[in-house]
Amino acid sequence: MAQILTNIYDWYRDLMDNQSDPRVADWPMMSSPFPTLGLCIFYAYFSKSLAPKLMEKRKPMDLRNTLVIYNLFQTIFSTWIFYEMARTCWWYYVSKFTEFFDTLFFILRKKTQHVSTLHVIHHGCMPFSVWMGMKFAPGGHSTFFAMLNSFVHIVMYFYYMVAALGPKYQKYIWWKKYLTAFQMAQFVAIFTHQFQLLFTECDYPKGFMVWIGLHGIMFLFLFSDFYKQAYNKRVGRAKREAEALLAKSHANGKLHNGDIVNNNQGACMPVLNDDDELHQRKVTGNGIYLNGGAKTANSYSNGNSNGFVESIQQSNGGIGENGGARVRKIQ
C-alpha cells in the first residue's frame, strides 16, 4: 500500500513539475489543481443544496440594479479579455469563477428552477477545464476557443444588462433568437478548429484537442435542444396552455392560486428567462392576476427578457375570480 501511495505521489509531482508549462508555475492558483477543484465542488454543493436551503424561508431579493452593474462588468471584462487575449489567458480562467454569480443571483431571487443540473455542470466544470489548459497547454492553439467564447460573452452579457434595465428597454433586445444561434455557431467553430488536428501535424496535446472538441459537440447538442424547445414550439405550446387554463377555469369555476403551467425549457439554458414560456409559471393573486383585473406579466432573468410581450385581457364571458375570464394574448 505504501508503494502504491509513493507511486501516485511521484506521478503527481512529475505531472506538476515536469509535464506542465513552467511559465505559469508561479501564477496564482496554478501550482496545484486542488484550489480550483475545491471551488468547483463547493460551487456545485452551494448551488444545489446549501443556498436553496438558506433561501427557503426568505423572500426573493430584488436585484435589478445589481444585475445591471454585474452584467455591465461582465461585458467590459469579456471585452478586455478578448482585446488582450495574448496576455490575459489567466484572466480568462478567473472569469469562469466570476460567472458563478449567474447562479447566485438566480438563487437569491428564488429562481432555483433555472439552476438545473446541466447549468451547474457547465459552470462547475469550466474552471477546472480552463485550469488544465492553462497548466499544460497555455497559448497557441488553446487561445482560439477562449477568444471566441469571450467575444460571445460580450454580446450575451450586454443582452442581459439591457434586459435587466426593465420592460421599457425590451424593444431593443428583439434579437434574442439570433444570440442563441450565435452561441451555437460558436460551438461549431470550436470543435471544427480542434478536430482539424486529426488531419494536420501540430505539436499540441491530443488529449486537450479531444477534450475541447467534445465540449463543443456536447454544448452544441444541448443548445440545439434549447433552440428547438424555445423557438420552434413556443407559439403552439403557449396557445395550448392558454386554452387549457381557460378550459380549467370553466370546469372548476375559477383559476386557483398555485395553478401551474409546466414548460420544457430544453436541455440547457443559454439566454435564459425567468417568467416566460420556457419555465414553470404559477398563477397567483399577486402575480399575473390581481383581484380579477388584468396585469402585464413581467419577464426577467439574469436580466433577460423573453423577447415577446404577454398581455392579460379580461372579457365578459366565462368565469373568473370576479366573474371575468382571463385570456392570454401572445403578441
98-148 confidence digits (pLDDT tens): 999 999 999 999 988 888 877 888 888 889 988 988 888 877 788 888 889
Rounded Cα distance between 56 and 73, Å, is 29
* pLDDT score recorded for residue 122: 82
Q: Is residue 93 part of a domain?
A: yes
Q: Which residue has the cell 435589478?
A: 64
Does some domain include residue 47?
yes
| Within a domain: 289 | no
Q: Give percent of the chain with pLDDT exceeding 70.
A: 69
Instruction: Write down the pLDDT at residue 236.
Output: 58
Closest CA to 22 of 105, 181, 139: 139
Give the pLDDT score at 99.
92
Residue 75 in domain: yes
C-alpha cell at 286: 399577486
Integer Cα distance of 275 and 303 in angstroms: 12
Spell out the residues 6+ positions from residue 245 whose beta carbon is closer than 8 angstroms to its own.
Answer: 255, 259, 261, 283, 326, 328
Q: Which amino acid is at 245?
A: L
Question: Residue 157: its pLDDT value, please?
Answer: 93
Domain that holds residue 141: 34-243
CB 312 within 8 A of CB 221: no
Asked whether the beta carbons of 159 and 173 are under 8 A apart, the reply is yes
Active site residue 122: yes
Between 268 and 58, residue with greater pLDDT:
58
> DSSP per residue over 234-283, as a string?
HHHHHHHHHHHHHHHHHHHSSPPTTEEE-----SS-SS--SSSTTS-EEE
Has residue 163 been placed in a domain? Answer: yes
**Helix H or strand E segment including 50:** none
**Packed helices 100-108 and 89-98: angle between N→C axes, nearest 10 degrees:** 10
Place of cell 489543481: 33
| CA neighbor of 257 nearest in space, from 292, 227, 206 | 292
Of 114, 122, 141, 279, the catalytic one is 122
- 136 domain residue, yes or no: yes
Q: What pLDDT, on a 0 to 100 scale, did the predictor assign at position 234?
A: 60
* Sequence letter at residue 284: T
Residue 201 forms part of a structural domain:
yes
Dig out the grid coordinates for 85 from the structure. 487575449
CA distance linking residue 68 with residue 85, whole number of Å:
25
Q: Is there a domain that residue 300 lies in?
A: no
The count of structural domains within the chain is 1
Q: In this structure, what C-alpha cell is assigned to residue 194?
A: 480542434
Tell me the per-residue pLDDT of 226-266, one tens digit each, with 9 for 90 and over: 788 777 766 556 666 666 666 655 555 444 444 434 343 43
Predicted local confidence at residue 306, as pLDDT: 37
CA distance 67 to 303: 6
For residues 331 and 320, give the distance between their C-alpha atoms in angstroms, rounded to a whole number. Answer: 22
